Amino acid sequence: MGNNSSASVIEEPTLDEGSPNGAKAARRTADKKAEEDAPKPPGPPRSVWREYFESLVVTAIMALFGMTFVVQAVKVPTGSMQNTILIGDHLLVNKFIFAPGPHLPFLPQREIRRGDIIVFKYPGDQNSGVPVSQQHDPNNTPFITNYVKRVIGLPGDKIEIKGTRVVVNGQQLAEHLVTAENGQDNPRTEEHEQDAPLTLENEPPPQGEGPYTVYWSARTRRAAGQGLNEDNDYYPTFKNNNVVTVPANSYFVMGDNRDNSWDSRFWGFVPRNLIIGRAMFVYWSYDESAPSSNLFLDFINNTRWSRTGTMVK
């Protein structure tokens, strides 16, 4: 052998597929590939009831999330906001818009504004001298009963009421005043007239311009025109004090049906943490003043179909 011989390359021997060992190796490879490519065996079949149950659970979770953080349905049982909101209106409330915490610019959130119609937990009568924890009115349970009112005063505002005029920080609040009367029940009829919408009148004529309408009785408006009811002692919140200042993190609210509204004039202010959200629209309205005879027919005949989808403002 010479020194100039080239280096040799040693290769591992390969199996000829024609040989017995090669055929076995090829079959093993093919079997392994077929096993990998084969579809996985299905699990136990799901029954119809299981599918319904799973759908129900998912729906319940989504509904719970929505009602906790996004929207809430409430019914209006009283006439303090008539004719803006009627007795028997069912509202959807936007809970997200006033959610506590920092407001991000890309989310539909904002601070509470004057004129907003809000839903909140009744805070109890702060002017009665009775601790809220000891107030047991079944129709107005503190921290449980939902109220719907319009925001009139923001934190730090100075509020004064002169007859039918509301003065905020020394300036008369822009409101459209209309004369209207609450219905009186007639025991000889099947209707519940006291739950019907307000009856509008022309005397005294409408007065003032504003983004919303408030309703006073003719008697109250005539007295205001004569300067006879400008004494705030009638309202417990203003007792011995013509001007009140809205505390921090609180709001002064009033109903649009000013002669028939149990509101901040009588029981005080609404703490921020009791506010649920902003009333959005009517998703169903049932005429509580109409006579009742048959459950199915009542639903058809007494539903105020024209109010469905009405925005609250």
Alpha carbon distances (Å) from 263 to 35, 150, 210? 76, 10, 21
Peptide bond into 83 cis (omega under 30): yes
Residue 286 lies in a domain: yes
Phi, psi (degrees; rounded to nearest 5) at 277: 170, -165
Q: Percent of the chain having pLDDT more than 90?
A: 59
Residue-number span of the structural domain to which 84 is assigned? 73-101+110-307
Q: Residue 177 corresponds to which tokens in the numbers above?
A: 């005043």
Mean of pLDDT values over 42-58: 68
Tell me the β-bridge partners of 198: none
CATH number of the domain at 218, please.
Answer: 2.10.109.10
Nearest alpha carbon to residue 98 among 247, 280, 312: 280
Tokens at 17, concatenated: 């597929």
Q: Give how many domains the chain has, as a whole number.
A: 1
* Tokens describing residue 81: 């906001």
Over residues 274-280, the mean pLDDT reads 96
Residue 2 domain-assigned (yes or no): no
Domain assignment present for 169: yes
pLDDT at 154 over 50: yes
- pTM attached to this predicted model: 0.79
Check: CB of residue 148 under 8 Å from CB of residue 188: no
| Element holding 171 (H helix, E strand) | strand 171-172
**For 13-22, 69-78, 186-195, which range has the lowest pLDDT when averaged over its residues?**
13-22
pLDDT at 225: 87
* Residue 288 near residue 195 (C-beta atoms within 8 A): yes
On whether residue 22 sits in a domain, the answer given is no
Residue type, 22: G
